[in-house]
């Protein structure tokens, strides 16, 4: 049985203004009543494709008159994500599950869904977003991520496709991949980190100074967001004080659902970032600076320089890699520490625990839940046959909770060893920025624990993710603490 048919579509006639966008988007489901001039539901979405179209129409409706509710059995369907082969009778006879990481039901408790998938259906297929395979066990994720020949990172590694392209090297395959990674390595060496450290500490101290005397703050917008953003912008070659211009659209992209007005807005705003990148690259050709953009314009290997498109993609990737990811990681760690005062006290008493605690935070709640690959040739994953052209979703976040790899995976164990989490990926695409992210998190947590050690996040007002595109983090953390003095 296809669980998608259990979505109930309705239109609130009191709210509908007869705009007709839903009818234009999906005439199969909607029509305009000639007598009232308002839209009505012609038929309920009877398959996955129509359910998806209904969802898009709901997001697109200017008056928010459309609702797509899930009934009792749909609630079940979240847990049924783990039921193996819920549709064994389907022609392809593949283990279908109702899995949609963009749905609110999923975002409410992804860990439960992952647990069920790992236990019952570790290689599963979902019809959501035009269909894709889900891989949830550690060993399978590792095997696939290490096989770039069979599992390509082109054209994108995100499901559903956000339409953000030319992210280099993320969206590339060998041999280009190595060519693209080479010039970026220098920004994440121990020497580079040593250079950034005083600056990151200064950014952190400045941020805390803006709120320490008041006894309250919003730890995302005033702390977790600006620090990684300013750090990345600075070494890349943009003005760190303009971090809002870059971080806001990326943030909106990360936390908005596919097809929603917010997503449309984010994509429109990202065009401005593309222009900023283009302008900066052009300017550096004329007027070189001491920054990554300049170095990339000058980089040459075997007499070949990067094309303008490649330069654009490299700079764009540094921005996309460096901003929201670390922000999300910091937000998750801060929330955990606020909710677990005994654990927090351990870190205050023994700051030497911080580096391994940071890796444990990264494992426990991976700020990047998954990336996808496109299959280049027919292949078997476990006992499933996957065809060329199909997409495979590698759940780093689920692999990190796999009991076959981690003892007590649902517990935060600060001195966990070994801790081979997959939060930064694995294989040839492994995150280049991981050392920088770790350093930023260390400085951020050190300074918070030192200067506002009794911080308390108001749990009722925390904004948790409502959809998972790539990023998993909290976008609002209202916080209070005993006021202190500026540095």
Q: Residues in the site for ligand HEM, rule: CB under 6 A?
A: 145, 153, 157, 169-170, 177, 181, 184, 232, 317-318, 321-322, 325-326, 329, 367-368, 371, 396, 423-425, 429, 431-433, 436-437
Nearer to ligand HEM, 99 or 188 (CB): 188
Nearer to ligand HEM, 65 or 333 (CB): 333
Nearer to ligand HEM, 211 or 306 (CB): 306
Helical ranges in 340-456 per DSSP H: 341-349, 354-364, 396-399, 434-451
Nearer to ligand HEM, 57 or 318 (CB): 318
- Is 137 in contact with 399 (CB distance < 8 Å)? yes
Q: How far is the CB of 339 from ligand HEM (least distance, A)?
A: 20
Q: How far is the CB of 470 from ligand HEM (least distance, A)?
A: 9
Q: How far is the CB of 309 from ligand HEM (least distance, A)?
A: 17
Q: Give the Cα separation of 169 and 318 in Å (integer).
A: 10
Nearer to ligand HEM, 30 or 180 (CB): 180
Nearer to ligand HEM, 18 or 435 (CB): 435
Relative to beta strand 66-70, strand 456-457 is unpaired
Residue whose CB is nearest to ligand HEM in the complex, by number: 433
CA dihedral 291, 297, 301, 307 (to 10 degrees): 140
Q: How far is the CB of 468 from ligand HEM (least distance, A)?
A: 13
Kindly state the greatest CA–CA separation across the chain: 72
Whether a cis peptide bond, with omega within 30° of 0, leads into 418 is yes
Nearer to ligand HEM, 145 or 200 (CB): 145
Q: How far is the CB of 320 from ligand HEM (least distance, A)?
A: 8
Nearer to ligand HEM, 81 or 394 (CB): 394
Q: How far is the CB of 412 from ligand HEM (least distance, A)?
A: 16
Q: How far is the CB of 86 from ligand HEM (least distance, A)?
A: 29
Helical ranges in 299-364 per DSSP H: 308-322, 324-339, 341-349, 354-364
- Is 148 in contact with 377 (CB distance < 8 Å)? no
Of all helices (H) and strands (E), which one includes residue 391? strand 391-395
**Helix, strand and coil percent figures for the chain, each rounded to 5:** 50, 10, 40
Nearer to ligand HEM, 336 or 371 (CB): 371
Nearer to ligand HEM, 126 or 332 (CB): 332
Q: How far is the CB of 188 from ligand HEM (least distance, A)?
A: 7
Q: Give the Cα separation of 185 and 412 in Å (integer).
A: 31
DSSP 271-302: HHHHHHHHHHHHHHHHS--SSHHHHHHH-EET
Q: How far is the CB of 423 from ligand HEM (least distance, A)?
A: 5
- Is 7 in contact with 45 (CB distance < 8 Å)? yes
Which of 435, 448, 439 minimizes the C-alpha distance to 477? Answer: 448
What are residue 96's DSSP bridge partners? 125
Which phi-psi region, left, alpha or beta, contains residue 379 (left: φ > 0; alpha: ψ -120 to 50)?
beta
Whether a cis peptide bond, with omega within 30° of 0, leads into 169 is yes
Q: How far is the CB of 371 from ligand HEM (least distance, A)?
A: 4
């Amino acid at each position: 049985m296809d669980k998608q048919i259990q979505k109930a579509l309705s239109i609130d006639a009191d709210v509908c203004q007869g705009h007709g966008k839903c009818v234009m988007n999906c005439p199969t489901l909607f029509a305009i009543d000639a007598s009232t001039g308002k839209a009505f539901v012609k038929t309920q979405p009877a398959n996955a494709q129509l359910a998806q179209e209904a969802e898009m129409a709901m997001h697109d409706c200017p008056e928010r008159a459309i609702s797509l509710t899930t009934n009792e059995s749909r609630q079940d369907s979240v847990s049924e994500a783990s039921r193996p082969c819920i549709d064994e009778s389907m022609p392809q006879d593949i283990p279908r599950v109702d899995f949609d990481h963009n749905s609110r039901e999923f975002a409410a408790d992804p860990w439960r869904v992952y647990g069920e998938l790992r236990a019952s259906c570790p290689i599963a297929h979902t019809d959501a977003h035009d269909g894709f395979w889900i891989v949830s066990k550690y060993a399978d994720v590792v095997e696939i991520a290490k096989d770039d020949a069979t599992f390509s990172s082109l054209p994108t590694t995100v499901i559903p496709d956000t339409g953000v392209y030319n992210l280099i090297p993320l969206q590339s395959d060998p041999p280009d991949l190595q060519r693209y990674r080479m010039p970026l390595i220098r920004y994440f060496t121990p020497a580079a980190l040593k250079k950034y450290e005083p600056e990151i500490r200064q950014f952190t101290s400045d941020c805390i100074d803006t709120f320490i005397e008041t006894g309250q703050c919003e730890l995302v917008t005033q702390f977790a967001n600006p620090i990684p953003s300013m750090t990345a912008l600075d070494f890349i070659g943009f003005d760190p004080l303009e971090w809002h211009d870059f971080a806001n659209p990326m943030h909106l992209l990360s936390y908005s659902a596919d097809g929603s007005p917010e997503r449309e807005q984010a994509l429109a705003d990202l065009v401005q970032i593309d222009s900023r990148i283009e302008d900066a690259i052009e300017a550096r050709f004329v007027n070189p600076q001491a920054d990554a953009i300049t170095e990339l314009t000058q980089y040459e290997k075997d007499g070949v320089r990067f094309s303008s498109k490649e330069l654009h993609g490299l700079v764009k990737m540094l921005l996309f890699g460096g901003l929201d990811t670390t922000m999300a990681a910091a937000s998750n760690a801060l929330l955990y520490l606020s909710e677990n005062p005994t654990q927090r006290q351990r870190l205050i008493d023994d700051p030497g625990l911080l580096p391994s605690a940071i890796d444990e935070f990264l494992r426990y709640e991976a700020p990047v839940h998954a990336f996808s690959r496109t299959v280049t040739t027919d292949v078997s994953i476990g006992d499933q046959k996957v065809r060329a052209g199909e997409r495979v979703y590698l759940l780093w976040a689920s692999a990190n909770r796999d009991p076959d790899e981690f003892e007590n995976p649902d517990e935060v164990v600060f001195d966990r060893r070994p801790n081979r989490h997959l939060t930064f990926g694995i294989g040839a695409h492994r995150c280049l920025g991981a050392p920088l992210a770790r350093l930023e998190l260390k400085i951020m947590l050190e300074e918070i624990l030192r200067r506002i050690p009794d911080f308390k996040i108001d749990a009722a007002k925390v904004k948790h993710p409502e959809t998972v595109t790539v990023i998993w983090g909290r976008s609002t953390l209202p916080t209070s603490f005993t006021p202190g003095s500026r540095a």
